Amino acid sequence: MKIAVLSRNPNLYSTRRLVEAGRERGHEVRVIDTLRAYMNIASHKPSIHYKGEELEPFDAVIPRIGASITFYGAAVLRQFEMMGVFPLNESVAISRSRDKLRSLQLLSRKGVGLPVTGFAHSPDDIPDLISMVGGAPLVIKLLEGTQGIGVVMCETEKAAESVLEAFMGLKANIMVQEYIREAGGADIRCLVVGEKVIAAMKRQAKPGEFRSNLHRGGSASLIKITPEERMTAVRAAKVMGLNVAGVDILRSNHGPVVMEVNSSPGLEGIESTTGKDVAGLIIEYIEKNARPNQTRTRGKG
Ligand SMILES: Nc1ncnc2c1ncn2[C@@H]1O[C@H](COP(=O)(O)OP(=O)(O)OP(=O)(O)O)[C@@H](O)[C@H]1O
Ligand SMILES: [Mg+2]
């Protein structure tokens, strides 16, 4: 097969591993710099140009679109879809997953376990917002935060009020969430491919910290997940319409709750922690599922 990997940087671990795994299995794999692909939308025959040439046809495309280029990346991926190329994850599903609130709303509609979460615009609604999510302690999150930055824990309602006022004053988009203390500073990253969790790892925050992000000093280890956790991760990916996803789960005393569903999960941490050939399993998924013109939305959404 001819496989394109949409990625800004061929040297990133995940990109390198996908290229390597594809070639090992006898496929022709080419990395396309997402921001250098451009397209002719007016024509009846959609095409993609790249650094001065028209791109040859591909059988499948693996999108690795960073959060900062979601808008342009989704447009490029949609163009591949319009040309009938099989996308590992569809553009519509990726755009959807990048909106944290929309994702939680979709998951809640399908009854997937979630931390109790609130969202408001006006500072006048802060007191009720806090009581709605069950009072302190609670977690306040900037919607555009990553790597744990912009996630704040407030032990008291007074603290929560002033942090919320400050963020709202800065016109930041925020959500308020019940604090899952019983998770003990750990979360579980489940790597879903197709309808299976093919690898899972636990990330534990360093002592005195509740955020388990590796960038915040957390450490990863192997974990055996329960059937309920497995089912939750698979359902979350399915609700989002993602074939491949990194589903982050907290162990709460009301069962597993989904914190986030990531459409371009990194492979380095999960492969090195679990020893699984995740890249190989992704290529295998493509081999089994790639068909021309199979995108459900065909780039319409
Ligand atoms: N409601 C919560 N209760 C307990 N711990 C939480 C809660 N929300 C987040 N955490 C902890 O804080 C960490 C960071 O939170 P989260 O993943 O939501 O933000 P982020 O990592 O900054 O964003 P992203 O995952 O989109 O990059 C989580 O990995 C988890 O360990
Ligand atoms: Mg996170």
Q: Write the pLDDT tens digit of every residue in 94-104.
A: 999 999 999 99
Cβ atoms 283, 267 nearer than 8 A: no
Apex CA 210: angle with CA 206 and CA 215, to 5°? Answer: 55
Domain boundaries of the chain, sorted by first residue: 2-89, 96-112+182-284, 117-179
Inform me whether the pLDDT recorded for 298 exceeds 60. Answer: no
- Ligand 1 contacts CB of residue 189 (under 6 A): no
Q: What is the CA radius of gyration of the chain?
A: 20
Q: What are 158-179's pLDDT values in tens digits?
A: 999 999 999 999 999 999 999 9
What fold is seen in the domain 96-112+182-284?
A: D-amino Acid Aminotransferase; Chain A, domain 1 (3.30.470)
Topology (CATH level 3) of domain 2-89: Rossmann fold (3.40.50)
What are the tokens at 120?
């408001």
Q: Is the CB of 177 under 6 A from ligand 1?
A: yes
Determine which of 34-48, 154-168, 209-223 has the lowest per-residue pLDDT on average: 34-48
User: For residue 45, what pLDDT is reported?
Assistant: 84
Q: Report the pLDDT value the prediction gives residue 42, as an integer from 0 to 100.
A: 75
% of the chain at pLDDT higher than 70? 98
Mean pLDDT of 20-45: 93
209 lines ligand 1 (CB under 6 A): no
Counting Cα atoms < 13 Å in the Cβ hemisphere of 150 gives: 13
Q: Which of 142, 259, 261 to mutate to test the pocket of ligand 1 (most atoms within 8 A of CB)?
A: 259
Q: Do domains 2-89 and 117-179 have the same CATH topology?
A: no
Q: 146-150 contacts: CB < 8 A, separation 24 or more?
A: 146/67, 147/213, 147/215, 147/216, 148/211, 148/213, 148/215, 148/216
Ligand 1, atom 30, lies closest to the CA of: 211
Q: What one-character DSSP code corresponds to residue 56?
A: P
Other residues' Cβ atoms within 10 Å of the Cβ of residue 207: 7
Q: How confident is the model at residue 299 (pLDDT cuts 50, 70, 90)?
A: very low
Strand pairing category for 60-63 and 2-6 = parallel
CATH number of 117-179: 3.30.1490.20
pLDDT value for 282: 98
